[in-house]
């Protein structure tokens, strides 16, 4: 197991986060619909993970529950407002939040990948009640793509006959996983990745102990997701990224003794988070290299020495199959590696052997 970050900054959870940066256009779109008197009863808030979708949903909920102040330039409700405090403490009578692992301690321990249908079935009776504190009843379904089929069908019935003065806010990183009939009954609000300057600003505020070079590396690695940056800090992602690149220091040959040691380190069940982060970073790096090679550009280094590793890989691919053939081979390898890691997670394969197989594939692809 790698050491955790020593950074002491904390990032507020969505329900208690009073700020939202980088999504002013989305706020304006919601306010325009509200002021026009044509507020849709259901909103589908989409975008990559970690960019603020849940924070946006809670921000909308607080605004409505606080009475939707007329003429407000944004959806902000002060943190000392009674509505904010009750919503942040999950104690507001007119707000229901549905999320994965939200059904009790035992369910949280199982870390289910689905939102159980029982959670979705809580929505209909909640919305039948008259608002206790104001005009609105608000439901947030976070990571709506995690609903199983029964849950999706239960939600669809609610969307087909929505109660008056009720708003449903669905956050979703993969809209294609939702039923088309659910998507068609929601107003789409697509959030974009955050600008690098915004991610840098948030890191400077909430992880002030990072030195500038490390913060710059995290900004590039985050790709517009402050949530991803926070997870990388928590799990020592930059160190693991450097370790991953070190396995390719002697490319076009792979140091398989080092791969063995890495397998011993991240393969055990006790190192599950390390395994998942390492495989995610490797697949992401392979995709990043493919995109850069296809455009004929050299991507900015995330950590020192990365550019040299990338040049060696691209050079080996060119020698093995020419520019076009080498790139095609790399893209195929990226897809196979992604599928291999997914199979390892789904079929309980020996992780160390899976890791060795992945790096054997990399070496073979680049050596003809």
DSSP string, 272-327: HHHHHHHHHHHHHHHHHHHHHHHHT--PPPSSTTHHHHHHHHHHHHHHHHHHHHHH
Residue 220: CB atoms within 10 Å: 17
- In 3D space, the residue among 303, 299, 296 whose CA is nearest the CA of residue 248 turns out to be 303
Q: Which tens digits make up the pLDDT trace of 248-292?
A: 888 888 999 999 999 999 999 888 999 999 999 999 999 999 988
- Residue 158 in contact with residue 168, Cβ under 8 Å? yes
**Cα–Cα distance for residue pair 284/272, rounded to 1 Å:** 18
- In 3D space, the residue among 238, 257, 254, 223 whose CA is nearest the CA of residue 304 turns out to be 238
Report the pLDDT averaged over residues 48-63. Answer: 96
Q: Which tens digits make up the pLDDT trace of 115-166?
A: 999 999 999 999 988 888 878 999 999 999 999 999 999 999 999 998 888 9
Q: What is the mean pLDDT of the chain?
A: 89
Which two three-digit tokens encode residue 345?
A: 């997670």
Q: Which tens digits make up the pLDDT trace of 210-247?
A: 999 999 999 999 999 999 999 999 999 999 999 999 99
Which stretches of 149-212 are assigned E, i.e. beta strand?
166-172, 187-190
**Per-residue model confidence (pLDDT) at position 83:** 95
Residue 325 has pLDDT above 80, yes or no: no
Q: Point out which residues pair with 171 in neighbouring strands.
A: 45
pTM of the model: 0.87
Residue 107: CB atoms within 10 Å: 15
């Amino acid at each position: 197991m790698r050491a955790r970050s020593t950074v002491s900054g904390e990032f507020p959870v969505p329900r208690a986060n009073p700020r939202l940066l980088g999504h002013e256009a989305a706020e304006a779109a919601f306010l325009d619909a509200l002021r026009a008197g044509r507020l849709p009863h259901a909103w589908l808030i989409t975008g990559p993970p970690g960019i603020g979708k849940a924070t946006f949903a809670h921000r909308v909920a607080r605004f409505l529950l606080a009475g939707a102040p007329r003429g407000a330039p944004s959806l902000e409700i002060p943190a000392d407002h009674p509505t904010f405090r009750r919503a942040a403490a999950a104690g507001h009578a007119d707000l229901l939040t549905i999320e994965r692992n939200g059904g009790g301690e035992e369910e949280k321990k199982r870390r289910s990948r689905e939102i159980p249908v029982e959670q979705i079935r809580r929505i209909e009776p909640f919305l039948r009640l008259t608002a206790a504190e104001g005009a609105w009843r608000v439901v947030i379904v976070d990571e709506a793509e995690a609903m199983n089929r029964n849950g999706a069908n239960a939600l669809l019935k609610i969307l087909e006959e929505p109660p008056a003065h009720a708003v449903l806010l669905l956050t979703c990183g993969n809209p294609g996983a939702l039923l088309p009939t659910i998507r068609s009954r929601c107003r789409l609000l697509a959030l974009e990745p955050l600008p690098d300057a915004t991610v840098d600003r948030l890191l400077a505020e909430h992880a002030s102990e990072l030195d500038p070079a490390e913060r710059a590396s995290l900004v590039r690695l985050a790709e517009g997701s402050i949530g991803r940056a926070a997870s990388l800090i928590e799990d020592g992602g930059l160190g693991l990224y450097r370790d991953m690149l070190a396995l390719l220091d002697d490319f076009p040959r792979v140091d398989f003794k080092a791969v063995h040691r890495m397998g011993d380190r991240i393969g055990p069940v006790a190192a599950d988070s390390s395994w998942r982060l390492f495989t995610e970073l490797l697949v992401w790096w392979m995709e990043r290299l493919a995109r850069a090679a296809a455009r004929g550009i050299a991507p900015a280094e995330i950590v020192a020495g990365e550019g040299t590793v990338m040049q060696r890989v691209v050079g080996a691919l060119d020698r093995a199959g020419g520019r076009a053939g080498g790139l095609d081979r790399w893209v195929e390898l990226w897809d196979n590696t992604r599928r291999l890691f997914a199979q390892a997670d789904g079929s309980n394969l020996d992780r160390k052997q899976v890791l060795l197989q992945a790096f054997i594939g990399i070496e073979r692809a680049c050596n003809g």
